[in-house]
Amino acid sequence: MKSSKLMFVVFLGPALLSYLIIYVYPVLRTALMSFFYVQNITDNSSEWKFVKLDNYINLLTDNQLFMQSLKNIGYIYFWGLLGVMFFALLFAVILNSGVRFKEFFRSVLYLPNIVAAVAMGTMWVQYVFNSQYGLLRSIFNFFGLTGLAEFAWTDDTHLLLSMTIAYSFGCIGYFMLIYMAAMDKVPSDYYEAATIEGAGIFNKFFRITLPLIRNVFRTTLVLWSTGCIGFFAWSLMFSNINWNIRTVTPMVYMYNIVFQDAIGMDPSQKNAGAGAAVGMILTILAVAVFTIINFVVKEDDVEY
């Protein structure tokens, strides 16, 4: 259908305008700002001091806190992804295998996704991982595993592990739904034929399901990466409300050097330009990850 100019402006204009204001302008300005020293985020651009690549160099060479935040998010990215993919695939296979109450199970597994991170985080830190009345402690004690019951989940040394478990726990239901939808598209006669040929459940999974849903793993990686870049609220919930070097993530680091003078943070480190550089580094890392994925996992049309 052809469209009139007026209709174009009325229907598409506001959306395009919003795009310019909320994406084009800020992204360009963030990129520009990352090359400047900007003491206060509200400073006029005339007060910015051009420092070439200094923000990047400082962040990546002698900034322990930022490097730790990258290590932390790398840990969450890698181990969390492994755990989430394993359990999400497992549950997707189980729920698609013909169990009863499939819809009920599916709803409860997805449930954590509709709860705010602040609420979920508090539940985990203050209840599940609690060392006195916690759920995990009760469960392990019930089964007589007193050694495990005494495990100090919220100790400084275990905080990152605990946070990764808690965060990933919630994501499993989401990725499970995505895998289930992909599995539903695989024609059932493939499985019937395999069953006739005597293939077991593992053979069917590794030889039919997995190869046929491989394109969905790219979606997984994109969604997982986006989630990790924005990793913020969970980190605050797991660090006793303040930031903590054990759980600091790039977003939290950025928040601290741009928006507040956190306790223990050297005020001279306040630099919105470095905050912008943090964003750029994360974006570059994400783009690099996508490029590698595209290179390794070729997108080919799976035809049924």
Partner 1 sequence: MRTNKTLNRFSLSKELPLLPGYILVTIWVVFTLIMVGWVCLASLSTTKSIFSGNILGDGIHFESYKHAFLDNNLGAYTLNSIIYTSVSITGMLLIAAPASYMLARFKFRGNKFIQGMFVVAMGIPSIMVILPLFSLAAQLGVLNSRITLIIVYIFTGIPFTLFFLHTFFSNLSRSFEESAAIDGCGPIKTFWVIMLPLASPGIITVTIFNFIGIWNEFFMALIFANHSSLRPLAVGVYATMKSFLYAGDWPGMFTGVVVIFIPTLILYILLSKKIIAGVTGGAVKG
**Sites for partner 1 among residues 213-252 (CB under 8 A):** 215-216, 219, 222-223, 226, 229-230, 232-233, 236-237, 241, 250-251
Query: Number of residues in contact with partner 1, rule: CB under 8 A?
Result: 101
CA nearest to 219, candidates 124, 290, 147: 290
Nearer to partner 1, 160 or 258 (CB): 258
Residue span 46-75 as binding mask against partner 1, x where in contact by CB under 8 A, dash where not? ------------------------------
Q: Which is nearer to partner 1, 160 or 183 (CB)?
A: 183
Q: Using the rule CB under 8 A, which residue among 3, 46, 64, 157 binds partner 1?
A: 3
- Minimum distance from CB of 60 to partner 1 (Å)? 17
Residue closer to partner 1 by CB (options 98, 267) is 98
We find the least distance from the C-beta atom of residue 284 to partner 1, in angstroms, to be 11
Give the residue from 255, 217, 216, 212 showing the smallest Cα distance to 233.
255
Contact code string over 80-119 relative to partner 1, x by CB under 8 A:
----------xx-xxx-xxxx--xxxxxxxxxx-xxxxxx
Binding mask 275-304 for partner 1 (x = CB under 8 A): xx-xxx-xx--x--------------xx--
Select 160 or 213, whichever has its Cβ closest to partner 1.
213
Token output for 21 = 């204001």
- Looking at 65-73, 151-159, 179-187, 202-210, which segment touches partner 1 (CB under 8 A)? 179-187
Closest to 284 (Cα-Cα) out of 37, 61, 56:
56
Is 18 a binding residue for partner 1 by CB under 8 A? The answer is: yes
Q: Which member of 149, 178, 199, 265 binds partner 1 (CB under 8 A)?
A: 178
Structure tokens at 11: 């229907």
Q: Give the integer Cα–Cα distance in Å for 185 and 194.
A: 17
- Residue 3 has a CB neighbour count (10 Å cut-off) of 9
Tokens of 12: 């598409």
Phi and psi torsions of 12, nearest 5°: -100, -25
- Which x/- pattern over 130-149 shows residues binding partner 1 (rule: CB under 8 A)? --xx-x--x-----------
The torsion angles phi and psi of 239, rounded to 5 degrees, stand at -125, 35
CB atoms within 10 A of CB 214: 15
Q: Is 215 helix (H, G, I), strand (E, B) or coil?
A: coil
Angstrom distance (rounded) from CA 122 to CA 294: 37
Considering only CA atoms, which of 258, 262, 194 is closest in space to residue 55? Answer: 258
Nearer to partner 1, 223 or 293 (CB): 223
Selected from 156, 195, 259, 288, the binder of partner 1 by CB under 8 A is 259
Question: Which one of 51-59, 152-160, 203-211, 269-277 is the stretch in contact with partner 1 (CB under 8 A)?
Answer: 269-277
Interatomic CA distance for residues 105 and 291, integer angstroms:
36
Task: Please state, in angstroms and as integers, the Cα–Cα distance from residue 239 to each residue in 67, 96, 158, 231, 244, following that order.
Answer: 18, 38, 12, 13, 5
**Which one of 16, 53, 145, 288 is in contact with partner 1 (CB under 8 A)?**
16
Asked if 1 touches partner 1 (CB under 8 A), the answer is: yes
CA atoms within 13 A of residue 1's CA, in its CB half-sphere: 4
Q: Does 265 bind partner 1 (CB under 8 A)?
A: no
